[in-house]
Structure 1
Amino acid sequence: MKSLLWIRWTLGLLLLCTADADSGRKPNFVFMMVDDLGIGDLGCYGNTTLRMPNIDRLTLEGVKLTQHIAAAPLCTPSRAAFLTGRYPIRSGMAAHGRMGVFLFSASSGGLSQEEITFAKAVKEQGYSTAIIGIYHVNKWNLIVKCYQNADHCHHPNSHGFDYFYGTIMTHLRDCQPGHFLYGHIPYKMQESGPEGIGLVSLALLHIKGMIAVTRRVVFGFLVLVGLVVSLFGVLVYTFPNLNCFVMRGPEIVEQPYTSDNLTQRMTSEAKDFFFYRNSERPFLLFFSFLQVHTGLFASPLFRGRSQHGLYGDAVMEVDWSVGQIMQTLERLNLKENTLVYMTSDQGPHLEEISINGEMHGGYSGIYKAGKSTNWEGGIRIPGILHWPGVLPAGKVIDEPTSNMDIFPTVLNLAGASIPSDRVIDGHDLLPLLQGQVERFEHEFMFHYCNAQLNAVRWHPPNSNAIWKAFFFTPDFYPENSSACFHTHICLCIKPYVTFHDPPLLYDLSKDPTESTPLSPDTEPQFYSVLEVIRAAVSHHAESLKPVPVQVSPLQIVWKPWLQPCCSSLSQKGKTKHFLAKFVSR
């Protein structure tokens, strides 16, 4: 009997010591972000026509957030907020003009060195950090260079990432032969281009008939036209070479790159990172998909396999990549100590049309509109978190959460201190995910369209209501559509928006599709709700400090002296050696 008690006591002590040892281990982090993925594209969020077994399994084994909100409806500010846990207006990553993103690799704006990314914070705690995929001025606003060609002030290495393999430019159609600029020409201009040219010609003929046009004027006009056409030709020829390249660390290894099998190559790079990591150090991997942003691509293995054309094929390839990453974690016995997070940067690009007139955008499900709008379809994104033994399997959470919440969650788990010298807008998700609390800390959320406050969400304490007030809304084209085909993207400036006084008001708990705005006649609390929201806006505005605007015309313009170039053939084929060098630090 005594021996049995001794055995039980010994086993209990061993289990206690093991538990203590395990609890002292810092978790690994794997984040997967898909570009322009719609919440309605995923089977776990209601899609019945796209097969995605790996993402579905990730959801069944983890936690699904149904009201996970992007901090902004465009990639540049949304991703900046994701990295820092702060509204992009606080870091200067919200544009004050028409252009809200960067279009050239040689631009000088970007996330300030004073900002703290979660990669930088965990690196100080001994983590090995890597980003594979997009690290682009359009996406991350962490421009590679600032003032001179060699400073690399905004390279991933300068913002906390030890290792980088990917692109600094988004995958635009411009990176594919024969697609240049089509996606940037307003839809109405594409429709009316021939008619416009004809009208200009008639006008010139009319002027010629009314006035005596000298040979010098005609010659000068022809020279000007020739110059413009020549410059345009040079831009067409050089754009892919100057902006469509793959880097490994600070070196360009493919210029221009080929999109075929690009996702498969990057997936292989992620697997190599797991294999060549320093096993004694925890790690953070950020896998940022180039898919499913325009221009769409899929490898031959997935082309033609879906019911939704090239877009569906690309989504299926993303699911395959997710499966490869999860299988590698499991094979290396890393799954049990790794927090996996999967999401999108914002809603789908509903206005995207191929050169053949085919729709190449995603699906918002039941939600209104898409990318670049603060309707639910533009900012409600997938939020899937997976950590066996720590997070409950199959749990669904309906509380409003934000992609900014990842920042404090990661820092707390890694043992890093939350910065006290700045406002952090995100909150630690772990208590909510584990069921320690039922109500999350986001009472108010502020939805910006560039630097303008567009809408406010209010989830009152002790209430199921989720009020959402719009101060202005984008004009759809045509009026009964939920997309802005007249510009290829919804804009936040006049004449593309309508201002509302009083603001449009919705209760998302009853009207998640935002189909019927409330009024004083239909909602007794109409004015009292707006009063609380206006007070919250005033309080929020007081917390904002002036910062340099990074997305300004001066910052986004192409600067030849900052142009990254050129392909380094000597780096090709050295993936393993390069990875081993970085992860062993």
Structure 2
Amino acid sequence: VPGMEIPRILISLVLLPASSLSLGASKPSFVLMMVDDLGIGDLGCYGNTTLKTPNIDRLAQDGVKLTQHLAASPLCTPSRAAFLTGRYPIRSGMASYGHVGVFIISAASGGLPREEITFARILKDQGYKTALIGKWHQGLSCEHRGDHCHHPRVHGFDHFYGIPMTNLRDCQPGHGSIFYAAFAHVPYGKLLATLGGLVALHTAGARVAARRLATGLAALLLAMAGLLCVFILTFADLNCFLMRGEEVVEQPYVAENLTQRMTGEAVEFLERNSDVPFLLFFSFLQVHTGLFASPRFRGKSRHGLYGDVVTEVDWCVGQIMKTLERLELKEKTLVYLTSDQGPHLEEISVHGEVHHGYSGIYRAGKSTNWEGGIRVPGIFHWPGKLPAGKVIDEPTSNMDLFPSVVNLAGASIPSDRKIDGHDLMPLLQGRVVRSDHEFMFHYCNANLNAVRWHPANSTSLWKALFFTPNFYPENTTGCFHMHICHCIDPFITHHDPPLLFDLSKDPSESKPLSPATEPNFHSIVGVMVDAAKAHEQGVEPVPEQLTLQHHLWKPWLQPCCSTLGQLCRCKRDHRQGVVEAEVEVHVE
């Protein structure tokens, strides 16, 4: 009926998300870039004056810069799970109740559950072409090595070119092993004394049962030592591999030009899908240790290998932006750049170099919920849709990308689960001036570590920490590695009442408040403790994905591009040797 057409149009406009009304008929595309372990103080646009990042700085100059953008976790695996799903990682089981808070080996059975909904899956259902290039770190298989139940494909990415785990110094020949630090704390003296006692017992003519026990225990100790050695010697072959789709194409991968190769892959994806809506998630392997830089970038910075790596990351960002401009896609594409958590501060190379980033004025770094561990770069760029040069000092989260991207794509936010992120577009476009996050909760593995409160009609920003790690980068005697054991006793100090800071006045968290220095201390802490209790009561129990059982090596899950007898070695990546011809390298 012709007379019914106008009412129908009006109804459809009312039902559209507010952020979609200004977009026109076409759907926007997305380029989401996440650098691994990048410090907020590493970038020129966040105050660094000695490390050159002109391409990233230009993104901030022409877009919106967030100064209080927060990772949902200070560790890779849970932080990325939260980013993909818009939910605190404890809701998906991607937070550990034990020692190890991230996946270490590829033949483990844990991972992001299939039941979780990622923004990639939603956009794929909306007709988007989707790709993940770089680091995954959300698990791989469940029952056998070919089921790939946690693979990026299962979670909505049409194309995957990258590594399923994380980049470690073990993946770089001649860089040593992260496990050496663990072995340095093994009580070798006690073990040798025990072994000596067992040998003495065996040779002293003890009873047959005692001699058998001594022999068995001695054999067990020697076998364990042998297994540890084998684990280190074979780690790179079994865990440092490159995949294209579901195929292992390089094992172990050659890191030297890997950033350039992945940049070339990203450029190809953009060129191949320039006429359709797309989602590109470029998940950098860098600047996670062990560090590597392509030959053309070595010695290009004033900060050693670490600075060279940041320089190459910046170059990659520039190549992607030049490609968007060449394809006339800049006005159609929302570009986002961040880090998954704060910088790694404590690792020293086998050559004695300190490999770490810079947290700026903020305290500590990766693996802690001090501001340096969770406050990360947050840059949004979208000419014509977002203002240029805007700076926002409101609490935001990497979980906010989920509802923001889903709404912009014209899809619906899942209503059958709790989504902790909030749509950022009203804040970015200046339609509102306050963040929707009144309370934010900071986890150390699966333990609620801290609460942030931004009261309505107040400029104060309160943060309460219930415990803090007994860890300092210059002294690792209490805990051999931050990733392993800092969230549980005896490696933490509990605070009752909690440590309280007003970040609006003390962003460096240098002076905890007390009833003597803050008259409303008890009422402020009371509100935050009540909020924490209410939040914890609202977290529904789910199967934990980072248990010891899920962490253990399972031979039947081991990805291998050849037989295990050949130590899983191959080079099938067609990008080898062609990158420099495809992508111009230029350091500004």
Change (3 A) 1:397 1:261: same
Deviations 1:459-514 (A, max 9, x none): 00000000000111111338xx7988842316101111000111110000000000
- Equivalence for 2:69: 68
- SS for the counterpart of 1:432 is helix
Residues 335-377 of structure 1, C-alpha deviations (whole Å, 9 max, x = no match): 1110000000000111111122321111111100111100000
Q: Structure 1 residue 209: deviation in Å?
A: 8.0
1:335 corresponding residue in structure 2: 330
The answer to whether the 8 Å contact 1:477/1:486 transfers is: no
Question: Could you tell me which residue of structure 2 aligns to residue 562 of structure 1?
Answer: 557
Match of 2:276 in 1: 281
Other-structure match for 1:262: 258
Work out whether 1:417 is the aligned partner of 2:412: yes
SS of the residue aligned with 1:26? Answer: coil
Counterpart-to-counterpart distance in 1, 2:377 and 2:355: 20
Q: Distance in 1 between matches of 2:218 and 2:264?
A: 53
The 3 A distance-change label for structure 1 pair 214 and 172 is: farther
> Is the 1:477–1:484 Cα contact (8 Å) retained in structure 2?
no
Tell me, yes or no, if the aligned pair for 2:251 and 2:570 is still in contact at 8 Å: no
Matched residue type, 2:535 = H
Are the counterparts in 2 of residues 370 and 483 from structure 1 also a CA contact under 8 Å? no
Q: Which amino acid aligns with 1:56?
A: D
Show CA shifts across 1:423-468 (max 9, x none): 1000000000010000110000000111110000000000000000
Distance 1:386 1:171 in 2: 28
What is the rounded CA distance, in whole Å, between the counterparts of 1:272 and 1:472 in structure 2?
A: 47
CA distance 1:20–1:185, change in 2 (3 Å)? closer
TM-score (norm. length: structure 1): 0.88
> Secondary structure of the residue that 2:305 maps to in structure 1?
helix
What is the correspondence of 1:357-368 to structure 2 with a 5 Å cutoff? 357-368=352-363
Cα RMSD for the two superposed structures: 2.5
Structure 1 residues 424 and 220: alpha-carbon distance in aligned structure 2, compared to 1, 3 A threshold: closer
The one-letter code sitting in structure 2 at the alignment partner of 1:521 is A
Q: Could you tell me whether the CA contact under 8 Å between 1:350 and 1:370 is conserved in 2?
A: yes
User: Which residue identity is paired with 1:487?
Assistant: F
* 2:240 matched residue in structure 1: 244
Which ranges of structure 1 fall in alignment gaps of 5 or more residues? 1-18, 576-585
Question: SS where residue 482 of structure 2 aligns?
Answer: coil
Structure 1 distance, partners of 2:21, 2:416, is 33
* Matched residue SS, 1:157: helix
- CA separation of 1:22 and 1:83: change in aligned 2, threshold 3 A: closer
Q: What amino acid maps onto 2:151 in structure 1?
A: H
Distance 1:285 1:483, change over 3 A: farther
- Matched residues in 2 for 1:283 and 1:268: separation? 17
Aligned pair count reads 544
Give the 5 Å matches for 1:167-206.
167-180=163-176, 182-186=177-181, 190=184, 197=188
Residue number in structure 1 paired with 2:379? 384
C-alpha spacing 1:332/1:530, structure 2 compared with 1 (3 Å) = same
Correspondence 1:232 to 2:228: yes
The equivalent residue for 2:520 is 525
Q: Which AA in structure 1 matches 2:60?
A: T
In the alignment, the residues of structure 1 paired with residue 305 and residue 276 of structure 2 have an alpha-carbon distance, to the nearest angstrom, of 40
| Structure 1 residue matching 2:450: 3-state secondary structure | strand
Give the structure 2 partner of residue 9 of structure 1. Answer: none
Unaligned runs of 5+ in 2: 1-19, 563-568, 577-588
Alpha carbons of structure 1 residues 224 and 450: separation in structure 2 relative to 1, 3 Å: closer
1:428 and 2:429 matched: no
Tell whether the 8 Å contact from 2:93 to 2:544 is kept in structure 1 after alignment.
yes
Distance 1:396 1:498 in 2: 36
CA contact (8 A) 1:477 1:485 kept: no
CA deviation string 1:167-196 (max 9, x = no partner): 01111111122445x323447x64x78xx6
2:467: which partner in 1? 472
Asked if 1 retains the 8 angstrom alpha-carbon contact of 2:387 and 2:429, the reply is yes
Q: Does 1:124 align with 2:125?
A: yes
Letter aligned with residue 488 of structure 2: I
Amino acid at match of 1:159: H
SS of the aligned residue for 1:301 comes to helix
Q: Which residue of 2 aligns with 1:295?
A: 290
Whether contact under 8 Å (2:198, 2:215) holds in the other structure is no
**Cα pair 1:251 1:571 within 8 Å, conserved:** no
CA-to-aligned-CA distance 1:500-555 (integer Å, 9 cap, x gap): 11111000000000000000010011011011112211221232111111111111
The 2-side partners of 1:31 and 1:21 are apart by 21
Matched, 1:88 2:81: no
Is the counterpart of residue 37 in structure 1 residue 38 in structure 2?
yes
Residue 503 of structure 2 aligns to which amino acid in structure 1?
Answer: L
Question: Residue 401 of structure 2 corresponds to which residue in structure 1?
Answer: 406
TM-score by length of 2: 0.88
**Residue of structure 2 in register with 1:583 after alignment:** none
Identity %, equivalent residues: 64
In structure 2, what is the equivalent of residue 352 of structure 1?
347
Q: Aligned partners of 2:109, 2:367: CA distance in 1, in Å? A: 23
Deviations, residues 62-103 of structure 1 (Å, cap 9, x unaligned): 000000000011111110000000001111111111111111
Partner of residue 480 from structure 2, selected from 468, 475, 487? 487
Distance in 1 (alpha carbons) for counterparts of 2:478 and 2:312 = 28
Q: 1:423 to 1:160 in 2, by over 3 A?
A: same
What's the secondary structure of 2:542's corresponding residue?
coil
Asked if structure 2 preserves the Cα contact closer than 8 Å seen for 1:130 and 1:162, the reply is: yes
Are 1:456 and 2:461 an aligned pair?
no
